[in-house]
Amino acid sequence: MSTRGCAKGAHHSDDWAATAATDFQKKNSLSGLKAANEESMYNLTIHFGPNAVAWSFLFKNEEKARSIFNNVVFAIEKEGSIGGVITDDYGQSAVIAGGNIHGVLLEDTELGTEARILRGLDQARGQSRAQKRAASDPELQQMLRNQGPSVITPFTNGGFRQ
């Protein structure tokens, strides 16, 4: 482990990227925030029928969800029946004809939530950068100066003008 030649000194080493990644995960991750009694959930969504109706099934066990997912994929490939009733861990049961299935999605809901959070953070960073660039853009600055402040002034009769 060598130190980089920077003003920060010896504590700034080549493994800074690993440390930064770990810190990012701690700050921006669901890991560690999950309650001790909370379990991972697996959402299996099947799109079927002439109008692509979507039904979702929730499972506590990944192996059970993956087994049903594989059966649905097999049914799509062979245009056959799923092979019985699909029953999730929360009381939903269904039978879906294999020839009508258009697609299937298996999602680890905890990782899906993590992905939505990271997309939101990325969007916020992009908006922040766009606002900074807009603030330094001469054309936009001129437009804002010409526009003047937007003020709503009440008329004496109770109406408003701008």
Averaged over 61-68, what is the pLDDT? Answer: 94
What mean pLDDT is predicted for residues 85-99? 87
Angular region, 96: left φ>0, alpha ψ -120 to 50, beta rest: beta
What H or E segment, with its residue span, contains residue 86? strand 86-87
Per-residue model confidence (pLDDT) at position 10: 45
What pLDDT score was predicted for residue 140?
80
**Is the overall model pTM greater than 0.85, yes or no?**
no
With H, G, I as helix, E, B as strand and everything else as coil, classify residue 88: coil
Token reading at 128: 């922040």
Q: Is residue 133 helix, strand or coil? A: helix
Q: How much is the pLDDT for 50? A: 83
pLDDT of 117 reads 95
Structural element, H or E, at residue 56:
strand 53-59
Tens of pLDDT along 15-30?
Answer: 544 444 455 445 544 4
Per-residue confidence band for 155, with pLDDT thresholds at 50, 70 and 90: low
Residue 71 has pLDDT above 90, yes or no: no
Q: Which residue has the higher pLDDT, 121 or 4?
A: 121
Instruction: Report residue 157's pLDDT band, with 50, 70 and 90 as the boundaries.
Output: low
State percent of the chain over pLDDT 70: 64
Asked if residue 35 has pLDDT above 50, the reply is no
